[in-house]
Amino acid sequence: MGTRRNVLLGGADSHQSRKLPGAEIQRPLATVVIGGLISATLLTLLVLPTVYTWLEERWDARQRHHASSALPKGQSETPVAAFGGSSANEYARRQLLYLAESATPEFSVNRQAHWDGLYTTKHPTELSWYQAEPVRSLELLRDAGAGRGTAIIDVGGGDSVFVDAVVNEGLGHVTVLDISGAALTRAKAALGPRASDIRWMEADVTRAELTPHSFDVWHDRAAFHFLTDSEERGQYVERCASALRSGGSLVVATFAADGPTHCSGLEVVRYSLDGLLDEFGDEFALQRGITDVHFTPRGVEQHFTIALFRRR
């Protein structure tokens, strides 16, 4: 009986040993997998951030060098003020910023995600279009006859200080329209209690539902030039013409013909005054045209074309 039990046990041990030959292969395989995961983690957390930071610093230095060498010729009738004048958290911010700025229409999920990404990861003074005071915009608002009773819509207003300046100077009642909810949230926070006096619209201007003949002034400092599709530009002009009252004013600023070809990782359309007339001329009459210079917070020179139109 004991012999039989020993045989059975021995058979069981033999059977068990035959079930585990894969252990000799699995251990090295597990080592490879775990080693790969550790290497990938180190690459993501240490190597890539270091490379991105180095490249960004090199790019910033190069841009500042070009800007400083070009600065003397950039002085215009209204210089800089015209249009602007813990490590883990920093890494996360840089990663989001890199993804947002390198996105293109083909690869970004949608426009809203793109702009929300920028406004979530960048301080206002890091945005290329930042301006401490909207001198030129206020100048053209006055040319348009804006006053306390003027109904103004600021298209693509983001978190700019334009709305603050209009409220401070009593130049009208403002509606701020932007595709980015993150931008509007920041703008409301900056205004504080006065934000309740502003109408906020989170919408794509080419699809926004605007009440006909409800505005006296349509202000767009740098949104129109992002519309690279002619059909969308037509939708923009159609909504602008419909929303403005007869005799109302359009203030629009875009990159000039010799301005940047891209902004915030997106392609733009550059315009001369004649180019803006081609887009808006059927519905609007040109009142004034300006070629202006803006310097980004990093000191890079950008040329703008600005036009004041009157609704026919």
- pLDDT for 31 equals 77
Angle between helices 181-191 and 162-169 (to 10 degrees): 40
The span from the CA of 298 to the CA of 56, in Å, is: 13
Q: What is the CA radius of gyration of the chain?
A: 29
- pLDDT for 72 equals 36
- pLDDT for 110 equals 82
- pLDDT for 10 equals 46
Query: Which pTM was predicted?
Result: 0.67
The span from the CA of 276 to the CA of 154, in Å, is: 18
Look at residue 64 and tell me if it is in a domain. no
Residues of the chain with pLDDT under 50: 2-18, 20, 63-64, 66-89, 91-109
The span from the CA of 68 to the CA of 19, in Å, is: 74
Look at residue 303 and tell me if it is in a domain. yes
- pLDDT for 34 equals 83
User: Residue 206 in contact with residue 240, Cβ under 8 Å?
Assistant: no
Look at residue 252 and tell me if it is in a domain. yes
Quote the distance between the C-alpha of residue 204 and its chain's center: 13
Task: Please state, rounded to an integer, the average pLDDT across all residues of the chain.
Answer: 80
- pLDDT for 14 equals 44
- pLDDT for 284 equals 97
Placement of tokens 């599709």 in the chain: 229
Look at residue 232 and tell me if it is in a domain. yes
Look at residue 41 and tell me if it is in a domain. no
- pLDDT for 205 equals 97
Count of domains forming the chain: 1
Quote the distance between the C-alpha of residue 162 and its chain's center: 17
The single-letter code of the amino acid at 46 is L
Look at residue 283 and tell me if it is in a domain. yes
Domain holding 139, by residue range, is 135-311
CATH at 301: 3.40.50.150
Look at residue 117 and tell me if it is in a domain. no
The span from the CA of 180 to the CA of 142, in Å, is: 28
- pLDDT for 195 equals 96
Look at residue 89 and tell me if it is in a domain. no
